[in-house]
């Protein structure tokens, strides 16, 4: 990696070549992965090492990256970037690079490098034994352990010098459950923005056991009927993921620039008054949090929707320039091989005032979703329910499977008629969201809520 | 060029206790331009070298690095150290014969050429009455070098490249615009035609909502359907994993590994190939150094062979070893089965419109959402959000949105009556393989709405 002085020289070169703004994003990252089925399948050590050079001129941007980190190679990268940008000369000066300080919301007790592979393998061995004890319907389970120690250094021509060290730990369970009713397999993660202390509580085991039992339960569940019915989303990731897919991406500058449905509707009512939606990258101990965003700006809490009124967007530097919007500390990227883009971090629905149990009792007939398997956002969104129950006369009646929740964000959010009081964070610690700037760690949270009518797709005929 | 000499030297004198070692190196150079108003709006350019090293010391361990000044000895030592922890019964096999060097000539496009092509496509699109705006016009050039070198003296390498153009337009409508997207690729920019790209994007938008029809309500049930190539590709983008021998052995595929198993109708044929005339992308050798050859996977609905790696095929690999794992932001380091250019074989004639006439009454499914969560490879069950145009006796009468196709992939493929000639490909997100399909007429699809 280049020194601060060398980096200053490279940034100045970029401005001399006509860029309005220049940034260097250095990344040095070490991951360990262990794959385990009946035994240790393999162990891998991973080293990511490279730099991204970002130049902006007017509303145009160029991103060049390489894993050749010598000063000469970087100089050539900047020259290439300027050529691509089509600029020639400039006379701006780089402001003195000053180290920025910001609170780390995710302190680490035990760094991955301080823990031997034997302990990491023992973790998986213990999980494997616990899995086999859950049910005889478990045919096999693949487990994987991942830890990551990422060092990021950002320099930019506005004088920002930001350093961050981000550690995450994760286990992945991929059970295969089958019985006379059928077979099913999907993966689930347990993760935290922390070191090996993540696993000291044993919550990852409890989570895995719950997933296996849910999978077994789905085999004998009835097929969900196609219907338009009230849908209750359990507090935690169900509620948060709904907003993530229904409107979250549409509030990021990448989508706004592509003619997203919410541009520019600030001040307009886009949801019921029960909806206050927040994205906050400062939340302590949350998977989507960090000291800075990937453009060196301190993270912040962004109120996106307040009592149904659209208030703000998630904005990165280039998106902000093009749309004339202030940045929101949301410039994020998967790694140095991706240009930053505005992305969600920890997205949650603020608690409401409705009684959580009354939400179910007050529903004559509908669907109660307690786990989602993923989804897609856009003008239309979709969410796959992996654990869902049919409600009849205000009570949970039977388990259903194969329910696909569909809708349009701008329509469905106007049908949220109940929001519970109890705030629940994402039960498995977090997940990954994929978009143009790569896969970023996120969480989705919130209280239990009800949508008065939603399209549900399924194979169980029509209700 | 990837510098291999220092690895050659290290492999010729392995450390004590290390039985074998292998390097899989990949270098990619790419420039991608996004054009707006005839000028470059956004651009990405990179040069990246990736080194995967595995070592066998009784068992196999792996390391991956992008830090190019790390010594080969240290990489082998770390891989061998990781091997110590593996309790797998056998070490991963490495090739010993079949060394080859394959070059697919690629004429790199200059930035000016790419910009001019994109500007031309944009201009042609905007000159059409039906087009409201150009949402995105991206032209990219990618050169890739892949090599496998090991301590058994095996050496395989390939280099290739392609130019690709993508266009997304919004077609004029009274209300919300209809979006049309198209992608073309070839060996050189001179092989691409801007007019063809624009025509494909405009046709895609017209197909999307039948030219601006109003929504049509209909009851959930079993219907005949024409699935456009895009919808078929979306399903296949996940469902191909059912054709992986690794998954079959693990019990993670709805299909068995027995050759001759019926998995589709007589009209259903699948080929995996390193190159295709419609594509610039090519995958000539895999990550184990096996040369990828054109392979019939499914012949008239019957499984001929699954996709295999050296390990899953016990030496007789189809050249399908790659490094694509689940999409989580982790580096895909394990050797996993991947296709090259995998496609459903088209018919000689016909397209979606032809199939719709043959269908008569039913749904033309023009789009689907959620590529990776909605098909379960283990059970074959799918539940796919979709939409399209409802046809009555061959005439379009309204659009359908927020619908769900549900069923089992085996039944879906088994109910294909006919496919069209309109084969088209999509590139996987990580640009490590392509999936292709023509439109298909399917009888009796369960559709909920």
> Are A373 and B220 a contacting pair at CB < 8 A?
no
Compute the nearest-CA separation of B166 from chain A (Å). 15
User: What's the CA gap between B382 and B407, in Å, rounded?
Assistant: 5
pLDDT at residue B449, as a whole number: 79
Q: Looking at A159-173, B201-215, B435-449, which range is the least confident one?
A: B201-215
Pairing between strand B178-186 and B155-171?
antiparallel
User: What's the CA gap between A458 and A403, in Å, rounded?
Assistant: 5
Average pLDDT over every residue of A314-330: 97
Higher pLDDT, A461 or B81: B81
pLDDT above 60 for B50: yes
Q: Residue A61 — very low, low, confident or very high, per pLDDT cuts 50/70/90?
A: very high
pLDDT at residue B319, as a whole number: 83
Q: Which residues of B318-357 are buried (b: 16+ CB within 10 A; e: fewer)?
A: bbbbbbbbeebbbbbbbbbbbbbbbbbbbbeebbbbbbbe
pLDDT at residue B326, as a whole number: 53
pLDDT at residue B275, as a whole number: 94
Pick among A19, A44, A166 to test the B interface (most B CBs inside 10 A): A44
**Rg of chain A, C-alpha, whole Å:** 24
Write out chain B residues lying below 8 Å of A176, CB-based. Answer: 250-252, 378
pLDDT above 80 for B1: no
> Are A64 and B46 a contacting pair at CB < 8 A?
yes
Average pLDDT over every residue of A392-405: 95
For chain A, give the number of residues.
463
| Distinct helix (H) and strand (E) counts, chain B | 8, 21
% helix, strand, coil for chain A, step of 5: 25, 40, 35
Q: Which residue of B has its CA nearest to A259?
A: B135
pLDDT at residue B175, as a whole number: 76
Please count the CA atoms within 13 angstroms of the CA of A331 that sit on its side-chain side.
23
Q: Residue B329 — very low, low, confident or very high, per pLDDT cuts 50/70/90?
A: low
pLDDT above 90 for B266: yes
pLDDT at residue A387, as a whole number: 96
> Which member of A39, A61, A337 has the closest CB to residue B46?
A337
Chain segment A5-39, per-residue pLDDT in tens: 999 999 999 999 999 999 999 999 999 999 999 88
User: What's the CA gap between A122 and A140, in Å, rounded?
Assistant: 18
Chain segment B81-117, per-residue pLDDT in tens: 999 888 877 788 899 988 888 888 888 899 999 999 9
Chain segment A323-352, per-residue pLDDT in tens: 999 999 999 999 999 999 999 999 999 999
> Are A458 and B404 a contacting pair at CB < 8 A?
yes
pLDDT above 60 for A363: yes
Nearest-10 crossing angle of helices B72-85, B5-12: 50
> Are B46 and A457 a contacting pair at CB < 8 A?
no
Nearest-10 crossing angle of helices B111-127, B194-209: 40
Tokens 């301190």 label which residue? A298
pLDDT at residue B142, as a whole number: 96
User: What's the CA gap between B22 and B51, in Å, rounded?
Assistant: 10
Report yes or no: A31 at the B interface, CB cutoff 8 Å.
Answer: yes
Residues with Cβ within 8 Å of B95's Cβ and at least 6 positions away in sequence, in order, are B148, B150, B152, B154, B156, B288, B289, B290, B310
Average pLDDT over every residue of B331-356: 92
> DSSP for B71-136?
-HHHHHHHHHHHHHH---SSPPP---S--EEEE----PPPHHHHHHHHHHHHHHHHHSTTEEEEEE
pLDDT at residue A30, as a whole number: 96
User: What's the CA gap between A277 and A351, in Å, rounded?
Assistant: 10
pLDDT at residue A349, as a whole number: 98
Q: Which residue of B has its CA nearest to A407?
A: B402
Element holding A356 (H helix, E strand): helix A356-361
Residues with Cβ within 8 Å of B5's Cβ and at least 6 positions away in sequence, in order, are none
Chain segment B197-231, per-residue pLDDT in tens: 999 999 999 888 887 888 888 888 999 999 999 99
Specify which residues A455 forms β-bridges with: A228, A406
Pick among A382, A430, A438 to test the B interface (most B CBs inside 10 A): A382
The fraction of chain B above a pLDDT of 90, given in percent, is 74
Report yes or no: B48 at the A interface, CB cutoff 8 Å.
Answer: yes
pLDDT above 80 for A215: yes
Q: What angle do CA B149, B153, B157 make, to 5 degrees?
A: 35
Higher pLDDT, B29 or B313: B29
> Which member of A50, A84, A140 has the closest CB to residue B111?
A84
Say how far residue A413 (Cα) sits from the centre of its chain. Answer: 21
Q: What is the mean pLDDT of chain A?
A: 95
Say how far residue A156 (Cα) sits from the centre of its chain. Answer: 26
Q: Residue A311 — very low, low, confident or very high, per pLDDT cuts 50/70/90?
A: very high
Compute the nearest-CA separation of B379 from chain A (Å). 6
Chain segment A191-214, per-residue pLDDT in tens: 999 999 999 999 999 999 999 999
pLDDT above 90 for A318: yes
Average pLDDT over every residue of B250-256: 87
Write out chain A residues lying below 8 Å of B66, CB-based. Answer: 47-50, 67
Question: Sign (positive/negative) of CA torsion B248, B253, B256, B259?
Answer: negative
Average pLDDT over every residue of A119-142: 96
User: What's the CA gap between A267 and A62, in Å, rounded?
Assistant: 33
Please, which residues 110-169 of chain A have a Cβ atom closer than 8 Å to chain B?
117-118, 121, 139-140, 142, 146
What is the pTM assigned to this prediction? Answer: 0.93
Q: Residue B325 — very low, low, confident or very high, per pLDDT cuts 50/70/90?
A: low
pLDDT above 80 for B340: yes
pLDDT at residue A120, as a whole number: 97
Report yes or no: B181 at the A interface, CB cutoff 8 Å.
Answer: no
Q: Residue A42 — very low, low, confident or very high, per pLDDT cuts 50/70/90?
A: confident
pLDDT at residue B96, as a whole number: 92
Compute the nearest-CA separation of B87 from chain A (Å). 5
For chain B, give the number of residues.
449
Give the highest mean pLDDT range of A415-419, B103-107, B384-388.
A415-419
Q: From residue B9, give the alpha-carbon distance in Å to each of A226, B6, B14, B155.
A: 64, 5, 9, 13
Report yes or no: B334 at the A interface, CB cutoff 8 Å.
Answer: yes
Q: Could you report the predicted ipTM of this complex, rounded to two decimals?
A: 0.91
> Are B82 and A334 a contacting pair at CB < 8 A?
no
Report yes or no: A18 at the B interface, CB cutoff 8 Å.
Answer: no
Write out chain A residues lying below 8 Å of B404, CB-based. Answer: 226, 404, 406, 457-458
> DSSP for A328-366?
-S-EE-SSTTS--EE---EEEEPP-SB-HHHHHHT-SEE
């Amino acid at each position: 990696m280049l020194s601060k002085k060398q980096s200053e020289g490279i940034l100045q070169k970029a401005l001399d070549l006509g860029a309005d703004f220049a940034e260097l994003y250095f990344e040095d990252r070490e991951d360990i992965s262990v794959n385990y089925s009946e035994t240790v399948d393999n162990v891998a050590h991973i080293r990511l090492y490279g730099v991204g050079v970002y130049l902006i001129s007017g509303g145009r941007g160029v991103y060049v990256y390489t894993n050749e980190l010598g000063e000469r190679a970087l100089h050539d990268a900047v020259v290439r970037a300027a050529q691509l940008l089509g600029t020639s000369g400039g006379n701006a000066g780089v402001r003195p690079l000053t180290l920025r300080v910001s609170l780390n919301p995710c302190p680490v007790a035990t760094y991955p490098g301080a823990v031997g592979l034997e302990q990491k393998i023992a973790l998986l061995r213990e999980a494997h034994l616990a899995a086999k004890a859950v049910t005889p319907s478990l045919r096999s389970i693949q487990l994987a352990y991942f830890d990551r120690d990422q060092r990021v250094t950002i320099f930019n021509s506005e004088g920002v010098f930001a350093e961050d060290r981000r550690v995450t730990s994760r286990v992945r369970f991929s059970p295969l459950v089958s019985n006379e009713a059928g077979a099913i397999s999907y993966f689930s993660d347990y993760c935290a923005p922390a070191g090996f202390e993540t696993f000291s509580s044993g919550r990852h085991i409890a989570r895995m056991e719950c997933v296996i039992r849910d999978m077994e339960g789905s085999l004998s569940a009835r097929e969900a009927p196609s219907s338009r019915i009230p849908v209750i989303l359990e507090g935690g990731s169900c509620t948060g993921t709904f907003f993530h897919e229904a409107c979250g991406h549409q509030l990021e500058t990448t989508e706004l620039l592509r003619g997203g449905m919410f541009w520019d509707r600030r001040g307009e009512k886009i949801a019921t008054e029960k909806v206050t939606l927040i994205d906050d990258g400062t939340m302590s101990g949350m998977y989507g949090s960090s000291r800075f965003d990937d453009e060196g700006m301190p993270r912040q809490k962004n109120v996106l929707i307040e009592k149904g009124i659209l208030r703000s967007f998630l904005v990165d530097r280039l998106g902000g320039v093009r749309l004339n919007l202030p940045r929101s500390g949301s410039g994020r990227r998967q790694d140095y091989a991706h240009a930053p883009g505005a992305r969600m971090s920890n997205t949650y629905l603020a608690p409401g005032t409705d009684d959580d149990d009354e939400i179910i009792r007050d529903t004559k007939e509908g669907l109660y979703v307690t786990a989602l398997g993923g989804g897609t956002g856009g003008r239309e969104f979709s969410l796959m329910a992996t654990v869902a129950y049919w409600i009849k006369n205000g009570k949970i009646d039977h388990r259903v499977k194969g329910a696909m929740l569909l809708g349009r964000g701008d329509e469905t959010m106007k049908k949220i008629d109940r929001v519970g009081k109890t705030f629940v964070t994402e039960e498995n610690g977090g997940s990954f969201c994929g978009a143009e700037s790569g896969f970023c760690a996120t969480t989705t949270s919130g209280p239990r809520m009800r949508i008065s009518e939603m399209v549900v797709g399924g194979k169980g005929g029509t209700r | 060029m990837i510098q291999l000499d220092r690895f050659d030297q290290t492999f010729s004198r392995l450390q004590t206790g290390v039985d074998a070692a292998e390097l899989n190196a990949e270098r990619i150079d790419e420039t991608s331009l996004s054009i707006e108003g005839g000028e470059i709006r956004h651009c990405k350019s990179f040069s990246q070298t990736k080194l995967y090293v595995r070592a066998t010391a009784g068992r196999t361990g792996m390391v991956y690095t992008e830090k190019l000044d790390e010594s080969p000895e240290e990489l082998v030592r770390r891989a061998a150290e990781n091997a110590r922890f593996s309790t797998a019964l056998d070490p991963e096999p490495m090739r010993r014969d079949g060394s080859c060097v394959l070059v697919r000539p690629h004429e790199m496009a200059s930035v000016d050429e790419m910009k001019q092509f994109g500007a031309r496509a944009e201009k042609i699109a905007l000159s059409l009455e039906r087009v409201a705006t150009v949402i995105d016009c991206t032209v990219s050039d990618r050169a890739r070098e892949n090599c496998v070198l090991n301590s058994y003296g095996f050496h395989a390498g390939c280099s290739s490249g392609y130019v690709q153009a993508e266009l997304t337009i919004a077609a004029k409508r009274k209300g919300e615009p209809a979006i049309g997207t198209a992608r073309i690729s070839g060996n050189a920019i001179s092989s691409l035609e801007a007019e063809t790209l624009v025509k494909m994007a405009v046709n895609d938008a017209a197909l999307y909502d039948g030219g601006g029809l109003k929504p049509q309500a209909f009851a959930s049930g079993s219907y005949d359907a024409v699935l456009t190539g895009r919808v078929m590709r979306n399903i296949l983008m996940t469902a191909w994993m059912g054709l992986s021998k690794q998954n079959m052995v693990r019990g993670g595929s709805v299909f068995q590994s027995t050759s001759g198993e019926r998995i589709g109708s007589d009209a259903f044929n699948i080929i995996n190939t390193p190159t295709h005339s419609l594509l610039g992308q090519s995958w000539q050798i895999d990550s184990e150094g096996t040369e990828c050859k054109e392979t019939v996977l499914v012949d008239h609905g019957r499984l001929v062979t699954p996709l295999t790696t050296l390990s899953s095929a016990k030496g007789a690999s189809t050249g399908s070893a790659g490094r694509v794992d689940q999409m989580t932001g982790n580096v895909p380091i394990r050797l996993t089965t991947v296709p090259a250019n995998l496609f459903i074989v088209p018919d000689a004639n016909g397209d979606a419109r032809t199939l719709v006439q043959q269908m008569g009454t039913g749904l033309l499914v023009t789009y689907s959402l959620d590529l990776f969560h909605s098909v379960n490879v283990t059970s074959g069950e799918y539940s796919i959000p979709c939409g399209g145009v409802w046809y009555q006796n061959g005439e379009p009468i309204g659009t359908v949105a927020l619908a769900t196709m549900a069923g089992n992939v085996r039944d879906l493929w088994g109910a294909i009556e006919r496919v069209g000639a309109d084969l088209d490909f999509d590139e996987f997100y990580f640009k490590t393989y392509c999936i292709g399909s023509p439109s298909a007429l399917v009888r009796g699809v369960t559709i909920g709405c």
